[in-house]
Amino acid sequence: MNWLALLWDRLISAFCWWLCAALPHRARVIPHAEDPGKPLLQQFLVYSRPAGKKPSLSVYLQHFITPESPEFAHRHRWHYMRSFVLSGYFVEHRYRVDRDNEMTKLHRRLSTYTMDHETIHNVYYWSRYCWTLFFAVDATDDWGYYPIYNSILWGPRVLNFIHWRDHIKQRVEALETGKITP
């Protein structure tokens, strides 16, 4: 990695952590689903369209803290998402329910990617200074997890959907409501 990229990553990361510390009421830590004592990711609410306005829109800064369980993938609550990788990089696996395959994707700084409500994925590796700017449209309560079965013959497959309330071990108000106090 060249020194300019590393400097960029450190500056963006320092600024994002400063925002979380300076405005703690806009920040939340999402706990690990299987081990609520471990933090999964840090989020900072940049913008949220007022309740009742359609389409709903939320914008977050996000930083991964610990890896997701390799035994589960998930899909999100939002119908459409676009994310900009501001600094660093991360790697995810994407799965298809109707296919016996997975796709590995590397997302690097200053790149963008999209997901929809049907995207099933698992983030399993990232750089220390990775932050993303995450735009999410039209939230729903229909999100959750998929157990991953690794078959010797077919490779990894996602199994039956588990609603998030049945999977997450600890109730978290920010997950129940989807809101952070602006």
Tell me if 19 sits within 8 A of 25, measured CB to CB: no
pLDDT digits (tens, 9 = 90+) for 153-180: 566 676 788 888 787 765 555 555 555 5
How far apart (Å, rounded) are the C-alpha atoms in residues 28 and 63? 11
Tell me if 104 sits within 8 A of 25, measured CB to CB: no
Q: Give the list of residues 6+ apart from residue 21 with CB closer than 8 angstroms, or none.
A: none
Average pLDDT, the chain: 84
Q: Identify the DSSP state of 32.
A: P
Rounded-to-5 percentages of helix, strand, coil across the chain: 20, 50, 35
Q: What percent of the chain has pLDDT over 70?
A: 84
Domain ranges of the chain: 3-177
Q: Tokens 């306005």, residue?
A: 53
**N-to-C CA span, the chain:** 37
- Assigned fold of 3-177: Jelly Rolls (2.60.120)
Q: Rounded to two decimals, what is the model's pTM?
A: 0.83
- Residue 158, strand partner residues: 148
